[in-house]
Amino acid sequence: MLQAHETKSPSVGDAAASAILTIDLDAIRENCRRLKARLNGVRCAGVLKADGYGLGANQVAAALAKEGCDIFFVALLVEGVALRQALGPAPAIYVLNGIPPGAEGLAVAAGLCAVINSPEQLAAWRAAAGNAGRKLPTAVQVDSGMSRLGIAPSDVERLAADPQAFDGIDVTYVMSHLACADEPRNPANEQQRLAFERLRKLLPKAPSSFTNSSGIFLGPSYHYDLARPGAALYGINPTPADPNPMLPVARLEARVVQTRMLEAGVGVGYGHTFHSTAPLPTATISLGYADGWHRRASAAAFFEGVRLPFLGRVSMDSIILDISALPPGKLKGGDLVELLGPSQSVDDAAGHAGTIGYEVLTSLGHRFERHYIGG
């Protein structure tokens, strides 16, 4: 059994750590409550794929369980097996990408629920139910217009005409996934909803699940019987055009290795993409692209709220900061600067890197000291 506090790198303690990632489990719980308040009694699952969006699936699951959450979604079979070991037999764990061909027995033994995305997955799961000698709880995913995962509309119609298609299958949910939920005015949302309405009625009668984080904010007609938020639980803004209604969850701080006073006219970092034009105080911090901080992100760090821009390129293990905004001597080797936190949100950092908050979080490395607070 995995321990809830287990991490992927050895803990050396704060004083020795090169960077510290603090994950606020109380904020995740509060975000869960805020989503539930909008869902008005509709059930709310937790999406824990990619190790809980990089923040620790086991710890996040334990925190969500305290909010009454007993349905979880992962992407991969291997994630489901690990989560089952950590959580014990009670919660339902759905595998979004479905079960790889031939691995159905493993999924049954781990007590995992398949998400069926194709007639082939359905046939293999039906056979697994026969082998197990019992009905297997299953979500059937239809493609309502994202063209990524899910049974195509023409196949849904074919299956609907086959009375044996769902033998041995206990359809616990009919589900689909929105492609443009973070764009409330995009007509694709309503087109997908109407397609889902039509397709779900062709399948065995079951509760329906349609919405991710952003979809919750599209209104009650998108909620159905079970919401599947991920991003919003982790503090990513589900309504990018508006202020973030969620609490921030992750705080990332990196250690100052050394401070320097550069002379005028020197090149800084790999490729000398920056040259000083005047004497310039700098700090080099212990965090780089190997920690998941995008090399192309022209961002900044913060010290006591003061912005310290990056100079030159991000290295594998270090970044050089312009600290001229601070009084001389204020920042010293051993101090911590903020990369994610009150001064720079996950969404801010993503904007600097030309990406989305999801990628910032799931890229976070495992050389950090990881702290969980609350929960």
Ligand X SMILES: *Cc1c(COP(=O)(O)O)cnc(C)c1O
Footprint of ligand X on this chain (CB under 6 A)?
Answer: 47, 49, 96, 177, 212-214, 228-232
Of 176 and 282, which CB lies nearer to ligand X in the complex structure? 176
Other residues' Cβ atoms within 10 Å of the Cβ of residue 316:
10
User: Is residue 268 left, alpha or beta, with left meaning phi > 0 and alpha meaning psi from -120 to 50?
Assistant: beta
**271 φ/ψ angles, rounded to the nearest 5 degrees:** 75, 0
* Residues 6+ away with beta carbon under 8 Å from 335: 255, 256, 303
Min separation Cβ 268 and ligand X, Å: 37
53 part of the active site: no
Quote the CA–CA distance of 289 and 319 in Å, as a whole number. 9
Which member of 66, 135, 201, 270 is catalytic?
270
Count Cα neighbours of 32 within 13 Å in the Cβ-side half-sphere. Answer: 23
- Report d(CA 272, CA 276) in Å as an integer: 10
Whole-number minimum distance, CB 47 to ligand X, in Å? 4
Whose Cβ is closer to ligand X: residue 36's or residue 313's? 36
Closest distance of CB 141 from ligand X, Å: 7
Task: Name the residue with the smallest CB distance to ligand X.
Answer: 230
Question: Judged by CB, which is closer to ligand X: 76, or 103?
Answer: 76
Measure the CA–CA gap between 354 and 294, rounded to whole angstroms: 9
Catalytic residue check, 49: yes
Minimal distance in Å, beta carbon 84 to ligand X? 19
Question: What is the largest distance, in Å, between two alpha-carbon atoms of the chain?
Answer: 80
Q: Give the Cα separation of 61 and 64 in Å (integer).
A: 5
Instruction: Point out the catalytic residue in the list 36, 49, 94, 173.
Output: 49
Q: Which is nearer to ligand X, 232 or 262 (CB)?
A: 232
The residues that are catalytic are: 49, 270
